[in-house]
């Protein structure tokens, strides 16, 4: 018991550690992806701000000089087609990029071309953001004025701002409302794989716990079976021992009637021991699948009637009633008469044993299409709902608290279920109510 608990605790800690690690890994990937999206969006804005600064310089240069000499224009054009001429603005360390130089040439350094510079820059930046992030929902604004590009109704606090180096008052602000959703979409396969891994771990853990509990319950049932069997063995052994001791007495041996009585006790004890051994051996054969049926055509009514006649003495002792009038005559099935007869005997015997009133057992059997429906109904103590699915398993017994008031090994109904299965049939508790009785239903195929 202590080892079992230690194993479950250890497995629980391992699964908890795996869950924590996977969640940490997912949130780390989520946070990294958010930062990557923010950084890429910021770089796009920075690129446009640099272009803005460059165009502003060109605008200033164009404002100081209304035109550029044709010779210089030709040299600049040649530079774009493979030349090595670079244009450096006074006060700047780096030459103008070719893209800005091209805009310079196309504009002819005419200040009128730059009147809508802010609007053009914002339009281009909006298009670039849409191109790079088709699913992004955002608001883009410049200095809080001009056009706003709003594709979201409710904005979050995921706001980026980049300012111009030449004109610090020129600020581009990008507010993203679905940054989290975008990050999740980017790492969705990582999340799926992680969740699958967690599911497998949790499933394995639950199966382990289930297996441990099942094995522990099975061991408890086997222990109970061993205890019951031990007590059952003591009675015939004690009878045999007492009878043998009595027969060892010369006076008893001389009294022929008394000697025969003790011999009868010994025979009954040996029969009981033999029956117990047969029960255990048969259960072992069933578990190993080594029980083979000798099937033949049999009249169902005749079989049930034969079984009922064997219970006549028991019925008289318990003042019980066994009604088989509901069994249709003429139903022919293919079955092993010995084992199927034992099935019926087990159900009748249980109905008599597990009863605190005058037992009443009613058997019905009707032909339904290609099968026969056999119903055993009794007025016994009933079976609790939580036990109804378990009673057909080996060693399971319906107990009264911590004790069993009725002798048995918990093998009867498991034997019944196995034999019905070998006949390709089905058995179930159709209904049962505590204190009112139970109804068992058996379905057998008449073609088998």
CB 68 within 8 A of CB 148: no
Same domain membership, residue 391 and residue 243: no
- Residue 72, SS3 per DSSP: helix
- Residue 178, SS3 per DSSP: coil
Q: How many CA atoms lie within 13 A of 322 on its CB side?
A: 23
- Residue 369, SS3 per DSSP: coil
Same domain membership, residue 438 and residue 308: yes
Same domain membership, residue 375 and residue 310: yes
Of 226, 255, 288, the residue that ends a domain is 288
pLDDT for res 336: 86
Per residue in 384-437, pLDDT (tens digit) is 887 787 888 776 666 554 444 555 556 778 888 888 888 889 999 888 888 888
CA torsion sign for 195, 200, 204, 207 is positive
Distance CA 360, CA 326 (A): 14
- CA angle 257/263/268 to nearest 5° reads 130
The DSSP 8-state label assigned to residue 390 in this structure reads T
The answer to the question of residue 199 being in a domain is: no
Same domain membership, residue 350 and residue 430: yes
pTM (whole model) above 0.75: no
The answer to the question of residue 91 being in a domain is: no
Q: What's the structural domain count of the chain?
A: 3
Distance CA 81, CA 97 (A): 14
Query: Average pLDDT per run of 10 along the chain, which is 448 residues long?
Result: 72 83 87 88 81 64 47 51 51 59 52 48 75 82 54 56 74 82 85 86 83 75 67 71 79 78 79 72 66 84 90 85 89 88 88 88 89 91 82 68 51 83 89 88 82
pLDDT for res 440: 93
Per residue in 232-258, pLDDT (tens digit) is 677 677 777 777 877 778 877 777 787
Distance CA 380, CA 374 (A): 18
Residue span of the structural domain in which 38 resides:
2-67+109-186
Same domain membership, residue 432 and residue 306: yes
Listing DSSP states for 79-109 in one string gives HHTT-------TT-SSPPPHHHHHHHHHHTS
CB 305 within 8 A of CB 343: no
């Amino acid at each position: 018991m202590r080892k079992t608990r230690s194993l479950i605790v250890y497995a629980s800690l391992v699964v908890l550690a795996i869950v924590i690690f996977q969640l940490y890994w997912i949130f780390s990937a989520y946070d990294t992806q958010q930062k990557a999206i923010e950084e890429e969006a910021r770089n796009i804005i920075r690129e446009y701000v640099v272009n803005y600064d460059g165009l502003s310089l060109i605008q200033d240069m164009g404002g100081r000089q209304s035109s550029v000499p044709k010779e210089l224009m030709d040299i600049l054009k040649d530079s774009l087609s493979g030349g090595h001429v670079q244009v450096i603005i006074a006060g700047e360390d780096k030459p103008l990029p070719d893209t800005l130089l091209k805009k310079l040439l196309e504009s002819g350094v005419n200040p009128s071309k730059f009147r809508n510079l802010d609007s053009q820059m914002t339009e281009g930046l909006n298009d670039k953001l849409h191109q790079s992030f088709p699913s992004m929902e955002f608001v883009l604004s410049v200095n809080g004025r001009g056009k706003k590009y709003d594709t979201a109704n409710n904005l979050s606090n995921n706001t980026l701002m980049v300012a111009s180096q030449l004109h610090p008052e020129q600020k581009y602000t990008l507010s993203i409302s679905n940054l989290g959703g975008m990050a999740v979409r980017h790492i969705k396969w990582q999340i799926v794989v992680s969740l699958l891994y967690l599911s497998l771990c949790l499933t394995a853990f639950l199966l382990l716990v289930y297996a441990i509990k099942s094995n522990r319950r099975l061991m408890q049932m086997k222990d109970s079976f061993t205890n019951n069997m031990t007590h059952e063995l003591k009675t015939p052994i004690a009878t045999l021992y007492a009878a043998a001791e009595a027969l060892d007495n010369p006076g008893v041996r001389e009294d022929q009637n008394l000697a025969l009585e003790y011999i009868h006790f010994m025979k009954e004890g040996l029969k009981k021991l033999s029956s117990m051994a047969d029960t255990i051996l048969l259960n072992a054969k069933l578990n190993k699948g080594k029980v083979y049926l000798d099937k033949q055509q049999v009249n169902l009514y005749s079989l049930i009637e034969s079984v009922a006649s064997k219970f006549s003495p028991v019925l008289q002792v318990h003042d019980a009633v066994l009604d088989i009038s509901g069994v249709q005559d003429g139903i022919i099935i293919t079955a092993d008469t010995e084992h199927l007869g034992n099935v019926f005997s087990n159900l009748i015997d249980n109905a008599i044993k597990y009863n605190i009133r005058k037992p009443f057992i009613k058997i019905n059997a009707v032909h339904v299409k290609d099968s026969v429906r056999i119903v055993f109904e009794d007025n016994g103590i009933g079976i609790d709902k939580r036990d109804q699915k378990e009673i057909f398993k080996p060693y399971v017994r319906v107990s009264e608290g911590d004790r069993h008031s009725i002798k048995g090994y918990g093998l009867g109904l498991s034997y019944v279920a196995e034999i019905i299965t070998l006949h390709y049939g089905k058995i179930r508790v159709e209904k049962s109510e505590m204190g009112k009785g139970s109804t068992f239903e058996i379905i057998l195929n008449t073609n088998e």
